[in-house]
Amino acid sequence: MTFPAFTPEIEASVAAVRADVARLHGELVRNSLVVWTGGNISGRVRLSDDGRADLFIIKPSGVSYDDLAPENMILCDLDGHVIPGSAGSDRSPSSDTAAHAYVYRHMPEVGGVVHTHSTFAVAWAARGEEIPCVITAMADEFGGPIPIGPFAIIGDDSIGRRIVDTLTGHRSRAVLMQNHGPFTIGTDAKDAVKAAVMVEDVARTVHYAREAGPLIPIPQEAIDSLYDRYQNVYGQSSDARR
The catalytic residues are 115, 117, 140, 180, 234
Query: How many CB atoms are located within 10 Å of the residue 94 CB?
Result: 24
The H or E element containing residue 145 is: none
Three-state secondary structure call for residue 92: coil
* Phi then psi dihedrals of residue 188, to 5 deg: -150, 180
Q: How far is CA 240 from CA 97, 143, 146, in A?
A: 31, 18, 23
What is the rounded CA–CA span in Å between residue 131 and residue 145? 5
| Cβ density class 2-11: b for 16+ within 10 Å, e for less | ebeebeeebe
